[in-house]
Structure 1
Amino acid sequence: MSASFLRAARQPSPARLPASVRPSSTLNMIALGLLALSAQTQAQETPNKLGQVQVTATRSKLDLSQVLADVTVLTRADIERQGFGNLVDLLGRQSCVELVRNGNPGTNTSLFLRGANTQHTLLLVDGVRMDTQSGSGGAAWEAIPLAQIERVEIVRGAASSVYGSDAVAGVIQVFTRKGKRTPTVEIGAGVGSLGLVKGDLSVSGAAGALDYALSLAQEVADGFNIRKVTNDPAYSPDVDGWRTHSVNARLGYQLDAGQRLELVNTYSSLDSDYDASAKPKVGVRDRNLHDTHASRALWSAQWNADWQTEASIGDSRERYETLSNNASTYLTETQVRQYTLGGTVKLPVGQLNAVLERREDKLINSGLLPTTGGQVKRHQNAVAASYLYSNSSIDAQLHLRHDQDSAFGGINTGTVAAGWRFLPGLRAWASAGTAFRAPTLYQSFSEYGPKPGVAALNPERGRNTELGLNWSQGDSELGLTVYNNRIRELISWDSSFAANCVSTYGGCYGNLAKVRLQGVSLQGETMVAGLRVQGSVDFQNPRDLTTDKLLGRRAKKHASLRLEKTLNQWSGGLQIQAHGSRFDDNANTKPLGGYSLVNLDLSYRVNSQVRLQANIDNAFNKDYETAKGYAQAPRTFFIGVRFTPTL
Structure 2
Amino acid sequence: MIFNKLLLILLFISFFNLFSQEETKENLQEVIITSTRIEIPFSKTSKKITIINAEDIKKSTATNLTDLLQGVEGIDIIKRGTNGMQSDIKIRGGNFQQTLILIDGFKTEDPQTGHHTMNMMIPLENIERIEIIKGSAARVFGQNAFTGAINIVTKKTNKNQLSLNSSYGSFNYQKGEIIASKQFDKINILAYFSQQKSDGYRENTDFINNNYFIKSSFKTKKEPINLIASFADRKFGAQYFYTPPSYNFKEYEETETSLVGLSTKYKFSKLTLKPKIYWKRNQDMFLLKRDEPSFFRNHNISNKVGAELNSSYISKIGATGFGVDFAKVSLASSNLGDQNRTMLNAFIEHRYVTKSKKLDFTPGIAFSYYSDFGFQTFPGLDVGFKMNDNTRLFWNIGSSYRAPTYTEMYYNSPSTQGNVDLKPEKAVSQEIGVKYNSNKLSFNTSVFYRVSTDLIDYVKTNSGSVYFKAENLRTIRTKGIELGSNYKFKMRSFHQKIKIGYTFLEDDYAEIDVFQSRYILENTIKHH
Q: 1:194, CA displacement in angstroms?
A: 4.7
| Distance in structure 2 (CA, Å) of the matches to 1:268 and 1:207 | 27
Tell me the equivalent position of 1:521: 482
Indicate the residue corresponding to 1:361 in structure 2.
329
1:349 aligns with 2:314: no
| Alignment counterpart, residue 196 of structure 1, candidates 173, 182, 191 | 173
**1:404 aligned partner:** 369
**Structure 2 residue aligned with 1:51:** 30
Give distance in 1, aligned partners of 2:161 and 2:27: 25
Q: 1:346 to 1:47 in 2, by over 3 A?
A: closer
273, 276, 296: which is aligned to 1:312? 276
Shift of 1:532: 2.4
Q: Post-superposition shift, 1:385?
A: 0.7
Aligned to 2:298: 330
Contact 2:345 2:369 in 1 (8 A): yes
The aligned counterpart of 1:140 is 117
Structure 1 residue aligned with 2:499: 534
**Secondary structure at the counterpart of residue 556 of structure 1:** coil
One-letter amino acid matched to 1:54: I
Q: For the Cα contact (< 8 Å) 2:275–2:309, is it kept in 1?
A: yes
Contact 1:471 1:479 in 2 (8 A): yes
Q: How does 1:586-605 map to 2 (within 5 A)?
A: none
Whether 2:236 is the aligned partner of 1:278: answer no
Give the TM-score taking structure 1 as reference length. Answer: 0.69
The 3 A distance-change label for structure 1 pair 193 and 60 is: farther
Q: Which range moved further: 102-111 or 246-255?
A: 102-111
2-side partners of 1:71 and 1:432: how far apart? 15
Letter in 1 for 2:480: G
CA-CA distance at 1:172 after TM superposition: 0.6
Alignment partners' CA distance in 1, 2:133 and 2:233: 27
Cα distance in 1 for partners of 2:165, 2:59 equals 12
The structure whose RCO (Cα within 8 Å, separation 6+) is larger is 1
Q: 2:183 aligns with which of 188, 192, 206?
A: 206
Residue of structure 1 in register with 2:101 after alignment: 123
Query: Within 5 Å, which residues of 2 pair with 1:485-564?
Result: 485-493=450-458, 508-527=469-488, 530=491, 531-547=496-512, 551-558=521-528
Counterpart amino acid of 1:214? Answer: A
Give 1:217-616 correspondences, 5 Å limit: 217-225=194-202, 238=203, 240-257=205-222, 259-275=223-239, 278=245, 286-302=251-267, 304-323=268-287, 324-325=290-291, 327=293, 329-368=297-336, 374-390=337-353, 392-445=357-410, 448=417, 456-493=421-458, 508-527=469-488, 530=491, 531-547=496-512, 551-558=521-528
The alignment-based identity, stated in percent, is: 18
Confirm or deny: 8 A CA contact 2:484 2:501 kept in the other structure: yes
Shift in CA distance, 441/256, structure 1 to aligned 2, threshold 3 Å: same
Mapped pair 1:68 → 2:46: yes
C-alpha RMSD of matched pairs (Å): 3.2
Aligned residue number for residue 6 of structure 2: none
Structure 1 stretch displaced more, 143-152 or 504-513: 504-513
SS at match of 1:65: helix
Partners of 2:380 and 2:106 in 1: CA distance: 22
Structure 2 residues without counterparts, runs of 5 or longer: 1-11, 515-519
Once residues 179 and 19 of structure 2 are traced to their aligned partners in structure 1, the CA distance between those partners, rounded to angstroms, is 40
Deviation at 1:113, TM superposition (A): 0.6
1:35-88 Cα offsets, whole Å, 9 max, x none, are: 9x969989999985x7212111x2342211111111111123333345555322
- Please tell me whether residue 153 in structure 1 is matched to residue 131 in structure 2: yes
- 1:363 CA displacement: 1.7
Closer/same/farther in 2, CA of residues 417 and 315 from structure 1, 3 Å limit: same
Q: CA deviation at 1:306?
A: 1.5
Query: Could you state the TM-score of these two structures normalised by the residue count of structure 2?
Result: 0.83
Alpha carbons 2:474, 2:512 under 8 Å: kept: no
Q: Secondary structure at the match of 2:480?
A: strand
User: Partner of 2:219: helix, strand, or coil?
Assistant: strand
| 2:160 corresponds to which of 183, 205, 228 | 183
Contact 2:166–2:175 (CA under 8 A) maintained in structure 1: yes
CA contact under 8 A between 1:543 and 1:551: conserved in structure 2?
no
Matched residue of 2:474: which SS? strand
Instruction: Return the offset for 1:528.
Output: 5.3
C-alpha separation between the residues in 1 aligned to 2:81 and 2:232? 20
Letter in 2 for 1:535: I
- 5+ residue gaps in structure 1? 1-33, 226-237, 369-373, 498-503, 559-647
Change (3 A) 1:100 1:537: same
Read off the aligned partner of 2:55 and give its amino acid letter: A
